[in-house]
Amino acid sequence: MQYDTAFEMASSNIRFGQGTTREIGMDLSELGVKRVMVLTDPHMSELAPVQNVLESLAAEKIEVELFSRVRVEPTDTSLQDAAAFASAGEFDGFVAVGGGSVMDTAKAANLYSSCPPTDFLDYVNAPIGKGLPVPGALKPLFAVPTTAGTGSETTGVVIFDLEEMHAKTGIAHRRLKPTLGIVDPENTRTMPPIIAASTGLDVLTHAVESFTALPFDQRPKPEKPILRPAYQGSNPVSDLWALQAMRIMDENFIRAVENPDDEKARGMMLLAASFAGIGFGNAGVTLPHGMSYPVSGNVKSYHPDGYPGEHPLIPHGMAVVLNAPAAFRFTAPACPEKHLQAAEALGADVSGAGPEDAGEVLAERIQYFMQRLNIPNGLSAVGYSEADVPALVEGTLPQHRVIKLAPREVGREELTEIFKDALKYW
């Protein structure tokens, strides 16, 4: 096999600033968009960000239909519901106002209504679906994140729960990228602490996973450039974004969760989310994300206190970080320097730590954030026991797009050990 010798930096368009949400009507008007589908979830539909977007569109006399049925942690069924609404509405543009669940649903609604496939799974990542590329340009989509989390405003990725598989999977193509991400610190003010904590831990893992991912030049060389995946492995450009996101988090994460009126910390966290999004969008995520997909999909009855809605769920950031200390202890021997660098950027004292300590130092720093932010103590605290480990392993094995980017190869045996280690941390 020949290794790749190149990496690519795909750009994402974002506009950052207080009050930019109110500019969105003018942006759409300039593009000639006349009829828009605004997507949000039931809880967000009552809050200021959605109202501000609707007012801004009304001011430009843009016709709007509000779709507020987005499911938090979308499923194939909920995506198809949004896509059917989009097809029936004959819109010429889309606006997503919410967290990753809303932004991802909007990308899917745009894709499935603009370029309807023969079968729903045609666009879904292989080997679960056919992984077909998006055949043509989609309609303009503006993404307005209201969590400092997924970075979905910067990525061409849709993540959803494939119900029959009890695990998440995705659709990934650069044409799914939003036309513009409107990153307005005003919009995250109303996040309750449990949402600020779990979405922020998603940012943390995006940054650390992409920074410690298999380097781009240890992945197979594609036959033609179009086949080079967006998740191409760590590289010097994505490293910059990831490291800076970690440094910002060290200074601002706890402050922003504990005091939502801390304007500076809240704004910096939103910036860190986009930075980490640009980083992982050009490098990929690895084991903690791959392992999170069956952790979310097999949820039994867990629902975090203070979280909107009633259906059992393990919020994405929580499902990911619960695997992170165990996963990084496993991957550290492959590139100990990078694990130590990540720990240091997140504020750990690494003086005197040698390569053999790297996994432990990073794991402990992540556990510090988890404990400080009242995250459950391992997978056992969200309803899993050792008896569930085989199912969690089987759900992780097909997540090739991410687990193959781990810097150390994993199979059934290794994943079993990592999941066992993730059951309880302190």
Ligand X SMILES: NC(=O)c1ccc[n+]([C@@H]2O[C@H](COP(=O)([O-])OP(=O)(O)OC[C@H]3O[C@@H](n4cnc5c(N)ncnc54)[C@H](O)[C@@H]3O)[C@@H](O)[C@H]2O)c1
Residue closer to ligand X (CB basis): 336 or 398:
398
Name which of Fe ion, ligand X, none residue 174 binds, using a CB cut-off of 5 to 8 Å depending on partner kind.
Answer: none
Closest separation between CB of residue 337 and ligand X, Å?
Answer: 27
Cα separation, 200 vs 268, in Å, equals: 11
Name which of Fe ion, ligand X, none residue 159 binds, using a CB cut-off of 5 to 8 Å depending on partner kind.
Answer: ligand X
Closest separation between CB of residue 344 and ligand X, Å?
Answer: 25
Cα separation, 25 vs 353, in Å, equals: 53
Cα separation, 168 vs 94, in Å, equals: 24
Closest separation between CB of residue 169 and ligand X, Å?
Answer: 10
Name which of ligand X, Fe ion, none residue 139 binds, using a CB cut-off of 5 to 8 Å depending on partner kind.
Answer: none
Cα separation, 286 vs 404, in Å, equals: 7
**Contact in structure between 407 and 214 (CB atoms under 8 Å):** yes
Closest separation between CB of residue 20 and ligand X, Å?
Answer: 15
Cα separation, 40 vs 103, in Å, equals: 8
Closest separation between CB of residue 314 and Fe ion, Å?
Answer: 13
Residue closer to ligand X (CB basis): 71 or 348:
71
Residue closer to Fe ion (CB basis): 273 or 415:
273
Closest separation between CB of residue 74 and ligand X, Å?
Answer: 6
Which residues sit at the interface with ligand X, rule CB under 6 A?
Answer: 41, 43-44, 47, 72-74, 98-102, 104, 146-147, 149-152, 155, 157, 159, 168, 187-188, 190-191, 195, 199, 202, 308-309, 316-317
Closest separation between CB of residue 313 and ligand X, Å?
Answer: 9
Q: Is 312 left (phi over 0), alpha (psi -120 to 50) or beta?
A: beta
Residue closer to ligand X (CB basis): 103 or 389:
103
Tokens 């459950």 sit on residue: 376
Residue closer to Fe ion (CB basis): 93 or 200:
200
Closest separation between CB of residue 4 and Fe ion, Å?
Answer: 24
Residue closer to ligand X (CB basis): 99 or 279:
99
Name which of Fe ion, ligand X, none residue 72 binds, using a CB cut-off of 5 to 8 Å depending on partner kind.
Answer: ligand X
Closest separation between CB of residue 329 and ligand X, Å?
Answer: 23
8-state DSSP, 350: -
8-state DSSP, 230: S
Name which of ligand X, Fe ion, none residue 76 binds, using a CB cut-off of 5 to 8 Å depending on partner kind.
Answer: none
Closest separation between CB of residue 172 and ligand X, Å?
Answer: 9
Residue closer to ligand X (CB basis): 57 or 103:
103
Please report the sign of the dihedral spanned by the C-alpha atoms of residue 297, residue 302, residue 307, residue 309.
Answer: positive
* Contacts of residue 283, Cβ cutoff 8 Å, sequence gap at least 6: 210, 211, 213, 216, 231, 232, 233, 234, 235, 238, 239, 242, 405
Residue closer to Fe ion (CB basis): 200 or 378:
200
Q: Please report, for residues 103, 182, 188, the alpha-carbon distance to residue 25 in angstroms, rounded to integers and kept in the order given.
A: 18, 12, 20
Name which of Fe ion, ligand X, none residue 129 binds, using a CB cut-off of 5 to 8 Å depending on partner kind.
Answer: none
Name which of ligand X, Fe ion, none residue 44 binds, using a CB cut-off of 5 to 8 Å depending on partner kind.
Answer: ligand X
Which residues sit at the interface with Fe ion, rule CB under 5 A?
Answer: 202
Name which of Fe ion, ligand X, none residue 162 binds, using a CB cut-off of 5 to 8 Å depending on partner kind.
Answer: none
Cα separation, 9 vs 12, in Å, equals: 10
Q: Please report, for residues 11, 78, 105, 172, 212, the alpha-carbon distance to residue 82 in angstroms, rounded to integers and kept in the order given.
A: 27, 6, 7, 18, 36
Q: What is the DSSP string of 148-189?
A: SS--GGG-SEEEEEEGGGTEEEEEE-GGGS-SEEEE-GGGGT
Q: Please report, for residues 278, 328, 366, 404, 424, the alpha-carbon distance to residue 408 in angstroms, rounded to integers and kept in the order given.
A: 24, 10, 20, 9, 23
Name which of ligand X, Fe ion, none residue 388 binds, using a CB cut-off of 5 to 8 Å depending on partner kind.
Answer: none
**Amino acid letter, residue 103:** M
Residue closer to Fe ion (CB basis): 81 or 202:
202
Residue closer to ligand X (CB basis): 223 or 310:
310
Cα separation, 332 vs 399, in Å, equals: 21
Taking the alpha carbons at both ends of the chain, their separation in whole angstroms is 43
Name which of Fe ion, ligand X, none residue 149 binds, using a CB cut-off of 5 to 8 Å depending on partner kind.
Answer: ligand X
Residue nearest to Fe ion (CB): 202
Nearest CA among 209, 405, 416 for reference residue 320: 209
